[in-house]
A and B are shown apart, each in its own frame.
Chain A
Amino acid sequence: MEHQIRQVIAESARLSVDASELSPTTDLYAAGMTSHASVNLMLALEDTFAVEFPDSMLRRSVFESISSIRAALEELTSKAAA
């Protein structure tokens, strides 16, 4: 999952650094992701993982790092599987 997240970040987050160099906890906003790019990231993650982020997850902290995105996706996919 982390590899896919990293790939989506590389394509959508428009960072000023190479996505392959990000640690799981690197702050994506500090790495150059704008609020508008975070919308693209959210939509691209939805496409890749076939989920939909509910309004309650539209928080800065959800899209802040690879780790936080992974946690959110795991929560969404586990709910979908239940």
Chain B
Amino acid sequence: MDIVDVADVEDSVAQFGERYLRRVFSAAELEECSNGTDMRRLAAHFAAKEATFKAIGTEDDAIDWRSVEVRLGASGNTTVELSGPALGLATRAGIVTVVASVGTTRRHATALVVAERSPEAGPEAGEV
């Protein structure tokens, strides 16, 4: 689970602009957030990314934020796609499904992510 203050995202965009947006969000995510101008949606994406990192157990692994791509559907459904290092970590941990739920208020975005491990995953796989 993660919670992000929408004002913090606004401050980051104001201070770092494109550098912040391009380091954290994929092109598809930015498009989904009105090309990086919808602060509440950006905060929701960030919360879902961080909640995913926690769910797959990144600990001290080097993970690019863009390797967790969050898509917020119009009907409220949220999907998470892993790639690169995040996908590698999840695969090693035996994680087969990542389910996310995101909510926003005027001030905050929250995300709850559950990572489901394959029953065949060995005892050495990371705890979820």
- Whether chain B is bound by chain A comes out as yes
A interface residues with partner B (beta carbon < 8 Å): 14, 34-37, 39-40, 43-44, 46, 55-61
Interface size class of B (residues with CB under 8 A): 20 to 34
B90 CB-CB contact with A under 8 Å = no
B interface residues with partner A (beta carbon < 8 Å): 2, 4-5, 8-9, 11-12, 15-16, 19-20, 23-24, 46, 50, 53, 58-65, 85
Inter-subunit contact A40/B12 (CB<8 Å): yes
Inter-subunit contact A58/B12 (CB<8 Å): no
Across the interface, which residues of A come within 8 angstroms of B65, CB to CB? 39, 58
Inter-subunit contact A43/B46 (CB<8 Å): no
Inter-subunit contact B60/A59 (CB<8 Å): yes
What is the count of residue pairs linking A and B with beta-carbon distances less than 8 angstroms? Answer: 49
Q: Would you list 18 pairs from A and B whose C-beta atoms are within 8 A, ordered by A residue?
A: A14-B8, A35-B50, A39-B12, A39-B20, A39-B65, A40-B8, A40-B20, A43-B19, A43-B20, A44-B15, A46-B19, A55-B85, A56-B62, A58-B63, A58-B65, A59-B60, A59-B61, A59-B62
CA distance A58 to B9 in the complex (A): 19
Question: Would you give the shortest CB distance from A65 to chain B, in whole angstroms?
Answer: 13
Q: Chain A interface secondary structure, helix, strand, loop or mixed?
A: helix
Q: Which of A14, A58, A61 has the most CB of B within 10 A?
A: A58
Across the interface, B12 reaches (CB within 8 A) one of A36, A56, A59, namely A36
Across the interface, which residues of B come within 8 angstroms of A56, CB to CB? 62
Can you list the 5 inter-chain pairs with the closest CB atoms, starting with the nearest?
A: A43-B16, A61-B60, A35-B50, A55-B64, A59-B62
